[in-house]
Structure 1
Amino acid sequence: MTKLFEVRSLKKNFGGLAVTNDVTISMGPGERLALIGPNGAGKTTFVNLVTGALKPDSGNVVLADEDVTRATPAERVRRGLIRSFQVTRLFYDMTPEEHVALAIMQRDGRTGRMLGHYSSNREVMTETREILELLGLFELSQLKVREIAYGQQRLLEIALAIALRPKVLLLDEPAAGVPHSETARIEDALKRLPPELAVLMIDHDMDLVFRFAKRVVVLAAGTVIFDGSPKDVTQDRRVKEAYLGSYADASNVA
C-alpha cells in the first residue's frame, strides 16, 4: 500500500497517564478507515495530535512523505490534512453558498476581499455549486443555516472541509446529534466523496461505521488493539471485551 498518511509511534501523556500509547496507523489514497473505541480510549486526543492542536511527547505525523509533526494546524490544513468537528461551527445567519464560497476564497488566499464579491467570480461560483451538489445541499444554498435541519448542517461542515481540497479527511463523529431518520443523508454523502480522498472516520454508530469502513482500527486505553477488516473486528476477543460486546454478538447471530 502506498502511504499517503502515517502516524508513527505517537505518544502523549497527561500527568503520567498514557492517553496515546505508541500509536501507529497508516492510510493509502482513497482508503476508508474507521477509528473506534470506548469513551476515554483516546480517539479525540489522537485527532488533536494529528491535526496539531496538541503536541506529542514523541512520535511522528507524516503526510505525503513530508513530516508535519512540528507544523502548525494551519500549515497542516494547507498541506491537505483537514478535519471536521463533533459540534457544528457554522454562522447561522449565513447561507451554505456563502460558507462554501468563503472557504474556497480562504484556501486561495483571497479572503481579504469582501465576501459579497464572490458571486462575480465564475470559478468560485462553479466550484461552490459542484461541492454543494456533491453533498446534496444545492437546493438549500440560499437558505440561512438556521433554517436547515441539523443533519444538513453536518453535511455543510463536510462541504467546507471538501472546499479546502483535503488529501486526508478526518471526520470526528459526522452523525453526532443527527436524528436516526437523517443519518442516511450522511451515509449517502460519504459514498459520494472523491474516490482518491483518504477518509478516517470516528463514530459510535456501529451500523454507519461498518457500512462505511473497509478497515477498522480499535483504540482502548490509548493503545491500538485491532487493525483489520470490519468482518474480523467483530470476531476479536479483545475488541468484544473492550468495546463491541453485545453488538458483535448480535452481528454474529445475524
Structure 2
Amino acid sequence: MFTKALVRTPCRSILKGLTQANLGLPNFDIACEQHQDYINALQECGLQVTELPALEDYPASCFVEDVALLTPQCAILTSPGAESRRGEVQHIEEAIKLFYPKIERINSNGHVEAGDIMMVDNHFCIGLSERTDPKGAAELIAILGKYNLTGSMVEMSELLHLKTGLSYLEDNNLLTFGEMHSHPDFKSFNRIQIDKEEDYAANSVWINGTVLVPKGFPKALNAIKQLGYKTREVAMSEFQKLDGGLSCLSLRF
C-alpha cells in the first residue's frame, strides 16, 4: 500500500521539453489543469501528496519519476541518461530527505532513469534503453542487494522507457505493449495485451487497488475493468505530447 506521493508543478518551459511523440506542442494551461486532476486522483486513492515548485530551468522536471527510485527500504537517486535532466536530481533530494533517512545514489559513469524500472514485490526489473545503460543498472542492482532487494536487466529495443510498454497491476497482472507482449522475461505473468492504437494506455498505474488509466483509451480501460479493478481515468493529452505517462508524474511510496 502507498501512503504518500511527490509531484512537481509543470513549468512554462515545458514547451521546450524533450519529445519523440510528434504530437505538437502542449498547451501550458491545459497541462496545469490535467496535472491538478492527476493530484486529485492520487488523493482519491488515499495518498498524501506533496507538490514541489516548478523548475523553469528543467523543462521535463514535472516527470519526477525518472530522477529517483523510492523503495520500502531506501531511496536511490538516479543518474539520468538525458544530460539535460541530470540537474533535477539535486532538487528532488531535499524533498526526499524529509521522508527517507537512507538515501543512496548512482555514482558511476553509468546512467539510470527510473522510468526504466518496474517493481514487482521485492524485485526490480530494469530496462536497458537509451536512458539506462548496463553500467548504471549494475550499480543499481548492487545497491538493492544491500537491502535484501533484487534486480535484473531487461533487454529491449523499441521503447523509450521500460514502463512505456509495461505496467504491473499487482496480483500477477501485467499490461504489455509491443515487444513486451512476448518478452521471455515476463512469460510467468498474466499479460494483458494493449493494442497498438492504444499503446499509450500501457502506462497505467496501480495505487491501493485502483488503477489510474489515461483518458481516451476505451479498449484498455475495459480490459482493466474486466480484471476486477476499480479504475479512474485521467486526461493526459498534454503530457503525452512530451512522451510522459501517468507513472512519470509522481513518486509514490
For normalisation by structure 2, the TM-score amounts to 0.32
**Structure with the larger helix share:** 1
Higher relative contact order (CA 8 A, sep 6+): 1
- Mark the structure with the bigger radius of gyration: 1
